[in-house]
Structure 1
Amino acid sequence: MKAHKSALHPIAAAVSLACLAVSVPAVANDDAEQAKSGIEVIEITATKRVTNLMDTPVAVSAFTQEAMDRQGIKNVKDIANLVPNLAISMEGSQQAPVISMRGVRSTNVTELGDPSVGIHLDGVYSPRTQGALSLMFDNERVEVLRGPQGTLFGRNSTVGSINIITNKPDFAGVEGNINLELGRWDAKELHGMINIPISDTFAIRAAGKVHERDSYMDVYYDPNQYDQRYLSDEVINAAPIDPADAITNTQKNNWWIDWAGGGDQIRELTKADESDSYGNIDEFAYRLSSLWEPNNDLAVNLTYQYYKNKGAGQKETANCEKMKGRPTYDDNGEVNGVSDCTTFSPHNNNYTAIVNVPGKLIVDMHMLRGNINYDINKDLAFVYNFGWENQRRELAQDIENSYDVWDGAMFFLPGTASRSYFHEMQLQSQATSPFSWIVGANLFHEKTTTRGYYDNSINDKTFWLQPDRSSDSYALFAQGTYDITDRLHLTLGYRYSDEEKEDKGGNNMTCSNDNGCAVGWWARDLLNELPANYYEDESLYEPGTDNSNKGSWDNHDYRIGLDYDLSDNTMIYGSIATGFKAGGIGDVFDWTDDLTGEYHRIATKFDPEEVTTYEIGAKSKLLDNKLHLQATYFFQDYDNMQYSSVGTVGYRNQQQPVYDDDGMPVFDDEGNPVLEWREQPVVAYYTQNVPSSEIQGIELEFQWEAWENGKISGYATWTDTEIVDDWHTKWDYDPRYLFGIGYDESVDPENEALKTNLKGNELAMTPKYTLNLNIDHYFDLGEYGAIIPWLNFHWEDEAYLTVWNVDKHTDDMDFAIADEDIHYSDDKRDSYLLINANLRYNAPEEIWYAEAFIQNATDESVQHWSNADQGYNQGTYNTPRYYGIRVGYNFY
């Protein structure tokens, strides 16, 4: 383990927290008495056997469905604020949650990437994070484990795991509920369940939800953009405007409108329908589950779930808060004014999009899961978990958002799919001896198929045809806990993992001006006569690089842990654990230089991630079970973190149009464009490895029944991250605009002026301090029911949204942008405070309830994803102020 400049500080703090936890007087109660009064005892399966949350020597947070409903949790991305050191962003182009925990995340959300936080549904691994968006209804609980879960959960759980445990059928009797939410932007959500025991040994349960909501974004269709094929005649023929009234970049700067006959051709924008534009919600899901228990030794649970999303998807937009006050300069470099988003947008807010491609997101997902538990005898149990997933996806996404006149759009077509299966068998000891253990093996397979294309309407297009990309892995694992004494327990765990990834017959095909497939920038009318789906025909494209590629990796993980019961109510623990995420393969790129004839071929691959985590902690039930404290200190030595982005893998000479001093194309006497040889980048989406990083922090969770019928709960964290080894890499944070250099220079991989060393940078989405506080009170009205107000404060310190830490590198390279202007386009997010509240009425015996709620009461706009381009800090943001009512009815 490498030395760290501030390692002593958090250790001392953690020890102090632990001492505080164990020094408060506590009365020893058995679990039965504690369950009658004080804080509810929550049972979890973080160690793949049922244990009490407060008796489990792992950093874990657990939430019941009722608790999540109170806080407005709709899907997995909404749980981020409930868990210390957890952040979940929505990446715009792939419409996928990006999960970050303790400073680590995966930015590759394509079929080539894997998350760093594993998601398990009823014990079954789920490979695609999109599938977890539908799961926050009718659950028994959600468990979030922090730190490597390599030995028991394995695949892609290097910094943690999210385990979603759904409600199972029971035999107690018929019961059910129905719940309705109505909110701002015409939001409507209906969900419910019914449980039916068919006999004493067989029961079924059905649950479902429907969620619709209009967009909270201001989305406009722009007929002035080059490609009009996706727009209605009404939009295309919108009223002309005076050039002096032009707002957007395409109203001001496109040459084709001026050529077509003057400024009277400039058209006004048309507001999109809020019910069917970027930012809306239109989804439903249902779950059918059965439970068969023919005797006391055997339980068989089978669950089928279906999810359908047919909304418009999210949209990355400029951060207008950062743009406010941005200086503008004249030709002499002197400040001649200031700008904000109104210089290119109708509104000065983070939620305005100007597009010519309507959004479309279709996710169609089937999931089947099964659990078999069989007690072989009083000392031995057998567990078999299995699952199957089939996800189909379609997408249409406007990319450039009118920030640049060079049109761009991304499409995933029917046939894009992911299919996977998972099997795991375990043998577990029953708790009848000082040594409890579990051994197991699992097998995982995923095959993805991708059909889609990137359409640069003025230039070349790329079609992705990836019929067979697969991942295959298997693992053997064992973990046991030995009671050295009644109070001291030793845990040892081991896992062997083997993984292989392969691309068979993949191809990135091209459609260019050179081969006559693409309609060039000089023939807008010809382009707009084509059908909107014209370039979906893969036969138009020239075969490109054969992406056939393969890689395999194996690894040995371990866990060593000691925990000691200081009393019946207090334990301390420490552990050393490792985690592993396999390496991967990327696209293969080859090209022949048009001028020199030289052939180039690059097969991209990346190395596995490895982490070793040292952790100490304490858990205590105090004040007659009225106060629960969990304190944890961790130190992570993380190697080869995988970072993905769009970059240049090489360059080629091609003939390109010549432009005059005004930026207009030059034509010869016969009306043909004048061309010249120019080096052009070979742009690729690929993954590189970040050298060693060190991450440490303190996490303090608490639940306190501070007064009769009143509770305070939440957490506080301190986290420090740093890249500690040299990482010399090409600058990748919007170099063309941030540096103010020419395009050719910005994409030249040999340009030393764009190389930098990111050693010393902080990792993304990791504020140094966070605080989450919940306050509620139960007003008992006796025979009239109860009123329960709830208030939540969530505060986070400033943080970086990417690994680039732009403001730290103003002296490393020759920036053309003034240092004082870095703020307007950098990747730093200011600290923020969110306030949420609700007021609930429970009828007697909780037969029905009614609730008024408000989320983000102060209407804070918080950026969670950053993708700088065209000189703007772009990204996705939280939902603006949202409010409404909920009502529900329970029947038994």
Structure 2
Amino acid sequence: MNSLFDVRFVLKCSTALASVAMVATMPAHAQSADDEGQFNAGGLTEIIVTAQKRAESSQKAAVAITAVSSEDLSRAGVTDAQQLTNLAPALHIDSVYGPAANFYVRGVGNLVLNASSDPAVVVNIDGVPLARPTGVQGMFFDLERVEVLKGPQGTLYGRNATGGAVNVITAQPKIGETSGSITASYGNYNAGKVDGAINLPVSDNTAVRIAGLISNRDGYYSDGTGDEDLGAFRVTMASEVSDTFTLSASFDYAHQGGKGPGSTVEGLNYDDRIGVMDDRAGANVYERVINPAPYPFNVAGFAALPGAILQPFNEIEGIDTYQDNEFWGVRLQADLETSLGTVSFIPSYREASLDFLSPISPIILTEEKDKQTSAELRLVSPSENRLQYIFGLFYFNERVNSLNNFNFEYTSFHAEIAPKVDSYAAYSRLTYSITPELRISGGLRYTIDKKSTNDLNVVENVYCPGFFDNYEGGPATTCVGTPTLPVSFDVSDPLAYEGVNGSFLAITTNPNRGKETFKKLTWRAAVEYDVAPRSLLYASVETGYKAGGFFNTPDQANNSFQPETITAFTIGSKNRFLDNRLQLNLEAFWWEYKDQQVSHFITVFGAPVFATENIGKSRFRGVELEMRAQVMSNTEVNGTVQYLDARNTEFLYGSATPPNTGCASGFGGPGGAPFYVDCTGNRPAKAPVWTLQGGIDQRIPLGESGDITVSLNTRYESGSYTGIELLPSQYQSGFFTSGAQVRFTTADGRFNIAGFVDNIEDNATVGFSQPHNFAGGQLFVRLQAPRTYGLRAGYKF
């Protein structure tokens, strides 16, 4: 878009925000400063957050944040990360393969991840960042709240994130109290869940809390995939050692079994949810000549070569969809109150053991062990200081040992990956009150990321007879009927492969090593003004950074990628009107994204390589309006509208094979690649123009018996692409997803029972898609959850 439009866009957003702030002064004067932070009977509730390392109302936090309370989480029955999408419109979470979950905030995230890259949106559990997106499994039970921070977190957070952060805060022990809760539900797909917690006093100053979750469900796909088999527990201890010193410790464990996430394929009716292991998927979809086998063209003449035939997944040797993953961690936090403020020390250690086979493009078999250690030391000044400060030191260590088998049926890439990370950071945040209403803030963070890798990659290629003789021209001899490669492979035991029709196997082995240090200074500057006691106007600019790294490739001269950066401009206004019964928050944002890290399959020296590259620039800008209102004493409504204008402003990369893309492409790519792909001017994947969310809660009092609450909600997402290739077949049209619940609660609030239904429309919407072959071929898709319904009952004591 032209510069004149850019100016008009900023002026319109600024004018709208200023108008909201000026209107805010009228009703707010009716409230005294004495009731600031207090809530009128029947008014909107407040959520206390710690996104800026100190406790404050979400309405007083001058940051782009969506906070979801424990009540909202419980009412929605949230037990996994993907369910958060319906509660935070700016957030989008997809299941990609195995236990991996991809997080996007306003279109910024990782479309595909590997063990050598960091997440763009970081998940923090009680302040501890998770290195891998697989680590979020088994975390969503007995929570106090979830905070979604939108935009780069370049100063206060342990692992710099370009897209945002999701803070998961668990329920903490309550000293001197014996209490507990249990919730059980049952629904279609034979879905059964039980979660509960018990809080026990150990002494006058110490308590322990034990919480657990068991969740089992049949698969959403016809082949039994898309199921859930999850068990988890958490033990937390808290002690007030003295008036100035508190100590807490926690241990958590989760196991994830079952078949794992499933998928279907283009050409089938998505509403039927036919899994790829179903015989019906292979009847007319796979059994066709493909290119490549393994190569899709004659390099000299670009004439198609006869290829092998794709086989149905359930006929490939060694395929058995499953997952057997374990996650556990320990965390300690010590807080000391001093005259300078609160000194906190938070060490932690976490492990994840992954073992899964995921039937998508390609067939992925992974055995992985992840270990991470972190420690944070920080000082937070008293909140009443005119000059408030936060100083911190952070250390992070990660060790990964991952064996990955990527099987394309006639080409396989086996990678033993062993990346290491040592990250050091020092950060600070200063906020000064020029007047009681006007504050300025600034922050700095300096990060040193030391990364290395020591990998081994083995490539298998099935060749047709005469392939090399005809490589420079003329037809090659077909090898239709040759068997596909088995899924499993042991690098220490070469594969005994018997081809037919003259086909033969070639195996190449290459080491992959690298070592590099990345350094970056990120910063934040902001101003905030209390227009009225319950009206805040703020503006900020913040930078974010995500370290570079390595990927496994035979080309040792080109096995690394560089950091990506983002600069975010934000103007926002947060307001409570009408005696605390109406909340209106408005935010305008403009993000400039540079050197975006994109992971995708390419061909290097004739082998498929899962590469991560820095590709160009993108721009994300838009407006988000959030409303909550208590329209009557027993009626509350809410709604959020987000408009997102996203464009790839410079997005050019090379391809070693004829690209399968919806972008412009042709001969002669960057870096000497035979082909190029140019997505400049295109809309990025996972970036819908409109995201709307709305809901209503109607309470019906029943006197001394209790009350009934009827809840309705809906979410609309306009069309967007579901894969990096931006193919027309990867475009998901706009859709609604709605839910309803009727809940009875006794007068003492201890017992409740509810009937619920989610995805009332039963939409089979695509969350993620990818071609089966890295240079083209059948499109595999992951669908979001179908219509689910059931009963849920809970008891508190």
User: Shorter-chain TM-score category?
Assistant: 0.7 to 0.9
**CA deviation vs aligned residue, 1:375-405 (integer Å, no higher than 9, x gap):** 023x3220111211110010123346xxxxx
The correspondence for 2:364, drawn from 388, 410, 433, is 410
- The residue correspondences of 1:490-889 to structure 2 (distance < 5 A) are 490-504=440-454, 506-510=455-459, 535-536=489-490, 538-540=492-494, 544-590=509-555, 601-650=556-605, 681-725=606-650, 727-730=652-655, 735=660, 754-806=675-727, 823=728, 825=729, 827-869=730-772, 871-889=777-795
Query: TM-score, normalised on structure 2?
Result: 0.86
**Distance in 1 between residues matched to 2:604 and 2:4, nearest whole Å:** 35
Per-residue CA deviations over 1:254-297 (Å, capped at 9, x if unaligned) read xxxxxxxxxxxxxxxxxxxxxxx311111100000000112221
- Does 1:387 pair with 2:348? yes
Structure 1 residues 449 and 850 mapped into 2: Cα distance closer, same or farther (>3 Å)? same
Q: Displacement of 1:871 after TM fit?
A: 4.1
| Superposed displacement of residue 620, structure 1 | 0.5
Secondary structure of 1:492's counterpart equals: strand
The Cα of 1:498 is off from its aligned counterpart by 0.6
Q: State whether structure 2 residue 382 is matched by structure 1 residue 421.
A: no
Partner of 1:217: 221
Report the CA distance between 1:847 and its aligned residue.
1.5
Q: Where in structure 2 are the equivalents of 1:185-334 lying within 5 Å?
A: 185-219=189-223, 277-320=224-267
Whole-angstrom distance in 2 between the partners of 1:492 and 1:8:
28
Indicate yes or no: 2:332 matched with 1:370. yes
Q: Deviations over 1:169-198 (max 9, x none)?
A: 012421011111101011110100000011
- Could you say what secondary structure the match of 1:638 adopts? strand
Q: Which residue in the other structure is 1:445 paired with?
A: 397
- 1:726 is displaced (CA, Å) by 5.6
Residue 524 of structure 1, CA deviation: 7.4
Instruction: Please identify the structure whose Cα radius of gyration is greater.
Output: 1
The structure-2 alpha-carbon separation of the partners of 1:513 and 1:829, relative to structure 1 and needing over 3 Å to count, comes to closer
Deviation string, structure 1 residues 115-152 (Cα, Å, up to 9, x no partner): 11111111111111111122111011111111211100
> 2:168 maps to what in 1?
164
The 1:686–1:354 alpha-carbon spacing in structure 2 relative to 1, beyond 3 Å, is closer
Specify the SS of the correspondent of 1:540: coil
Matching of residue 28 in structure 1 with residue 31 in structure 2:
yes
Partner of 1:15: 15
- Residue 471 in structure 1 maps to residue 377 in structure 2: no
- Residue of structure 1 equivalent to 2:62: 57
For 1:322 and 1:762, the matched residues in 2 are separated by 27
Output the CA distance in 2 between the equivalents of 1:366 and 1:521.
48
Task: State the distance in 1 between where 2:46 and 2:241 align.
Answer: 29
Deviation string for 1:741-798 (max 9, x for gaps)?
Answer: 9xxx99999786x424221111111111111001011112121011001000101111
CA gap of 1:781–1:341, structure 2 versus 1, over 3 A, is farther
Q: Which residue in the other structure is 1:39 paired with? A: 44
CA separation in 2, counterparts of 1:7 and 1:747? 35
- Measured in 2, the distance between the counterparts of 1:881 and 1:645 equals 32
Q: What TM-score do you get using the length of structure 1 for normalisation?
A: 0.77
Q: Give the match's secondary structure for 1:735.
A: coil
Q: CA deviation at 1:632?
A: 0.6
Evaluate the alpha carbon distance shift between residue 773 and residue 523 of structure 1 in structure 2; reply closer, same or farther with a 3 A threshold.
Answer: closer
Q: Deviations over 1:534-577 (max 9, x none)?
A: 73463326772111112221101111000001111111000111
Q: Which residue is equivalent to 1:480? A: 430
**Maintained 8 Å contact 2:53/2:380:** no
Post-superposition offset of 1:307: 0.6
Q: Is the Cα contact below 8 Å between 1:17 and 1:631 reproduced in 2?
A: yes
**Counterpart of 2:552 in 1: which secondary structure?**
strand
**CA spacing shift, 1:4–1:364, aligned 2, 3 Å:** farther
Shift in Å, 1:68: 1.2
Supply the AA of the counterpart residue of 2:265: A
Distance 1:322 1:9, change over 3 A: farther
Look up the SS of the partner of 1:538 in the other structure: coil
- CA deviations over 1:701-749 (Å, ceiling 9, x no partner): 12110112100113111110112236254398962999999xxx99999
Change (3 A) 1:134 1:626: same
Q: Which runs of 5+ in 2 are unaligned?
A: 272-280, 288-311, 464-477, 496-506
Contact 1:22 1:620 in 2 (8 A): no
Paired letter, 1:373: D
Contact 1:85–1:717 (8 Å) recurs in 2 = yes
Using the TM superposition, name which of 205-214 and 756-765 deviates more. Answer: 756-765
Contact in 2 for aligned 1:386/1:424 (Cα 8 Å): yes
- Cα distance in 2, alignment partners of residues 108 and 523 from structure 1: 32
Deviations 1:280-325 (A, max 9, x none): 111100000000112221111101000100111112322458999x
For each residue in 1:3-35, what CA deviation from the matched residue of structure 2 results, as whole angstroms up to 9, or x when unmatched? 584452254145314513541523325146425
1:608 and 1:640 in contact (8 A); partners too: yes
Relative distance call for 1:838 and 1:647 in structure 2 (3 A) is same
Farther-moved stretch of structure 1 (772-781 vs 428-437): 428-437
Structure 2 SS opposite 1:197: strand
Structure 2 SS opposite 1:489: strand
Distance 1:395 1:748, change over 3 A: farther
Q: Does 1:355 align with 2:314?
A: yes
> 1:215 & 1:549 partners in 2: Cα distance?
41
SS at structure 1 position matched to 2:704: helix
| Cα separation, 2, equivalents of 1:371 and 1:709 | 40
Identify which range, 548-557 or 104-113, moves more after superposition: 104-113
SS of structure 1 residue aligned to 2:226: coil
Tell me, what secondary structure is at the counterpart of 1:630? strand
1:205 Cα deviation (Å)?
0.3
Instruction: Provide the aligned length of Structure 1 versus Structure 2.
Output: 729
Q: Write the distance in 2 (CA, Å) between the matches of 1:87 and 1:286.
A: 26
Work out the CA distance in 1 between the residues paired with 2:236 and 2:683: 45
Superposed counterparts of 1:79-158, under 5 Å: 79-92=84-97, 94-158=98-162
Q: After the TM superposition, which of the residue ranges 638-647 and 78-87 deviates more from structure 2?
A: 78-87
Aligned equivalent of 1:664: none
RMSD, matched Cα = 3.1
State the 1:410 CA deviation.
2.9
Q: 1:640 to 1:434 in 2, by over 3 A?
A: same
Contact 1:449 1:469 in 2 (8 A): yes
User: Partner amino acid for 1:877?
Assistant: L
Evaluate the alpha carbon distance shift between residue 320 and residue 859 of structure 1 in structure 2; reply closer, same or farther with a 3 A threshold.
Answer: farther
Q: CA deviation at 1:521?
A: 7.7
Distance 1:88 1:140 in 2: 21
Matched residue SS, 2:559: strand
CA contact (8 A) 1:549 1:603 kept: no
Structure 1's 420 and 751: CA in aligned 2 closer, same or farther, altered over 3 A? closer
Q: Are 2:59 and 1:67 equivalent residues in the alignment?
A: no
Q: Does the 8 Å CA contact 2:553/2:604 hold for their aligned counterparts? A: no
